Structure 1
Amino acid sequence: MPRNTSVRIGPVDTWRWLGPVLLVLAAATVLVGVLAGPVAVLRSLGFGLADSALTVVVVGPLLAVALWRRPGALRVVAVLAVLIACSRWAHGLPRVFGAELEYNWQGKTVELLWLVALFLALWPWAREEAGLGLRLKPGWRPAGWVVVGLFAGFALLFLWNLADAGAPPDPMDTERLLFDLGHPNLVEELLVHGAMLAVLDRACGTPWRFLGADVGWGLVLTSLWFGLWHGLVLDADGFVVEPVAILSTGLVGLLLGWVRLRSGSVWLAYAGHCAIELGQDVGVMTWAVLGGNVPLG
């Protein structure tokens, strides 16, 4: 029988992507270790692995239901666990580059590099299934309008809240604006709604229809992980659980996952991610200008 060329070789089919990914992470770890010391690196890696295990265990029951009696279920779990561990590894390294800054640019940059290594190693799969291609699905326009609505809605909502609270017209923090516009949001989308969603949709299928998009357990599980990573944290500073953050960001993850599936593009999901945060930033800058202050500080 002829081979089905529509099914691309993905992370579950081969481990050849793991070498380049580990090479990137190892190089970053050695560089950070030289500057921060091996003890600090080993401690951070320990917390990173523990945090990875925690999120896998919390989602474990639903993951077991989704993969019940499906071929290659254990391999799917292993791939997801490795992706999560690599993410925590990158973010958990001691900050030696940009340590004086408020946001973890170093961790986000290391994560971007290992994700690039993953997608280059499996480019046909990345382009066709993980949503990195530039071609949008027919009927993508509702997803595009959602992105526009998110930007406008959050800008107006934030401006309204600032006015209602009588907040001082403080300028927008420049670093925060750059963080919201740059690659930090991109790496979240590439990992969650690119790689992880593609792996789960291949394994579990997309048997349901949700607002014009074919969805499945992948959307449910990635939305839950998206929420947990913003509200369930285990690191050197301790164990933090924020139910409101888990719920709110989980719902945002659900919406961005829908944008990704309806449009077929992780880039549009990234635009939606930026639209939420940039809308808030524009609200702050508008309030600053209306109050006679400069928009950026």
Structure 2
Amino acid sequence: MSTSPPQSVPAVRVGPVDTWRWAGPVLMVLAVATVLVGVVAGPVAVLRSGAIGLADTAITLAVVGPLLAVALWRRPGALRVVAVLAVLIACSRWAHGLPEVFGTGLEWNLLEWNWQGKTVELLWLVALFLALGPWAREEAGLGLRLRAGWRPAGWVVVGLFGGFALLSLWSLADAGAPPTPMDTERFLFDVGHPNLVEELLVRGAMLAVLDRACGTPWRFLGADVGWGLVLTALWFGLWHGFVLTADGFVVDPVAVLSTGIVGLLLGWVRARSGSVWLAYAAHCAVEVGQDTGVMAWALLGGNVPLG
């Protein structure tokens, strides 16, 4: 009598919704960063910034709440999914909102140009992904293997870079702008980890959580997508144009719409390629393309490209 060989059982990818073991390392990173900042800025400043970050989390969840409720309607574990998303958003807002005492001063009113905040966020995201390695590689897109049919997403990256470089160069030439060199720190910010942390959080962790909870039942330009694409794009837009800061609300409908559309494109790149790294490349392509146009204009004008 012969027996059939045992069939391999697919490995279970334990994600943030399945366990809270990732919360300890993440909160430890944030606690250390908070203490270090508090020593310099003082506890009152830290508590004030933390309260603002948590309030901003509640507001953005409330704005997206109705759409999130539709996406999760009658789905098992919906409340746990909402809790995980709330923690991820709160960790991000807390890290970004800490008083900047270890940065360079390069920032703007939406807290994007903030080396300190972006570095703290990178550290807690690394802690999250290390705690959930298989899920990070296979579902959050941190693996190095691209999905079959990824090349159209790659061409989008090339097109974004070339298009924005030409648009930047054309606009400078049309305006007759002086050949001013590109600010070196701004260029380093655009090619460095600040854009990466947005992709790791939004198109990595949050999209993976939502795709597992809601599924990807829609087919869009060769990519399997679902409510996760819509919701992460909406959050991406809100975080760039509807933010609570120490000075009050920053409301910029144009920024919400434009970055929301960009968020849809980046989410499609992530879905089509299966890689958060290609989404990061697409994210950088927009800003680095603009920077390249500035540097090309400086060179054409006989100036150095970086200054």
Aligned pair count reads 296
- 170, 180, 203: which one pairs with 1:193? 203
Q: Give the aligned partner of residue 271 of structure 1.
A: 281
Q: Give the aligned partner of residue 71 of structure 1.
A: 76
1:229 CA displacement = 0.4
2:15 is the alignment partner of 1:10: yes
Q: Give the aligned partner of residue 173 of structure 1.
A: 183
2:54 is the alignment partner of 1:49: yes
**C-alpha contact (below 8 Å) 2:241/2:255 kept by paired residues:** yes
1:101 CA displacement = 3.6
Calculate the TM-score normalised by the size of structure 2: 0.95
SS of 1:79's partner is helix
Amino acid at match of 1:31: L
Q: Give the aligned partner of residue 153 of structure 1.
A: 163
Q: Give the aligned partner of residue 124 of structure 2.
A: 114
**C-alpha contact (below 8 Å) 2:164/2:289 kept by paired residues:** yes
CA RMSD of aligned residues (A): 1.2
2:259 is the alignment partner of 1:249: yes
CA–CA separation in structure 2 for the residues paired with 1:123 and 1:147:
27
CA–CA separation in structure 1 for the residues paired with 2:239 and 2:47:
22
Amino acid at match of 2:157: V
Amino acid at match of 1:153: G
- 164, 169, 174: which one pairs with 2:174? 164
Please give the per-residue CA displacement for 1:131-159, whole angstroms capped at 9, x wherever unaligned: 00000000000000100110000000111
Gap runs ≥5 in structure 1? none
SS of 1:100's partner is coil
Q: Give the aligned partner of residue 33 of structure 2.
A: 28
CA–CA separation in structure 2 for the residues paired with 1:139 and 1:53:
39
Q: Give the aligned partner of residue 87 of structure 1.
A: 92
Q: Give the aligned partner of residue 300 of structure 2.
A: 290
CA–CA separation in structure 2 for the residues paired with 1:67 and 1:166:
52
Q: Give the aligned partner of residue 24 of structure 2.
A: 19
Please give the per-residue CA displacement for 1:143-189, whole angstroms capped at 9, x wherever unaligned: 00100110000000111111111112111011110000000000000
CA–CA separation in structure 2 for the residues paired with 1:116 and 1:266:
14
Q: Give the aligned partner of residue 146 of structure 2.
A: 136
Amino acid at match of 2:129: F
Q: Give the aligned partner of residue 110 of structure 2.
A: none
Q: Give the aligned partner of residue 127 of structure 1.
A: 137
Question: Which structure has the bigger radius of gyration?
Answer: 2
Deviates more, 1:94-103 or 1:72-81: 94-103
Calculate the TM-score normalised by the size of structure 1: 0.98
1:5 CA displacement = 2.9
Please give the per-residue CA displacement for 1:98-143, whole angstroms capped at 9, x wherever unaligned: 2434431000000000000000000000000000000000000000
CA–CA separation in structure 1 for the residues paired with 2:82 and 2:59:
14
Gap runs ≥5 in structure 2? 1-6, 108-112
Amino acid at match of 1:215: V
1:162-241 alignment to 2 at 5 Å? 162-241=172-251
**C-alpha contact (below 8 Å) 2:102/2:116 kept by paired residues:** yes
CA–CA separation in structure 2 for the residues paired with 1:82 and 1:264:
24
Would you identify which runs of 4 or more consecutive aligned residues in structure 1 move more than 6 Å? none
CA–CA separation in structure 2 for the residues paired with 1:157 and 1:135:
33
Change (3 A) 1:165 1:255: same
Amino acid at match of 2:36: L
**C-alpha contact (below 8 Å) 2:210/2:227 kept by paired residues:** yes
CA–CA separation in structure 1 for the residues paired with 2:53 and 2:10:
38
1:96-115 alignment to 2 at 5 Å? 96-102=101-107, 103-115=113-125
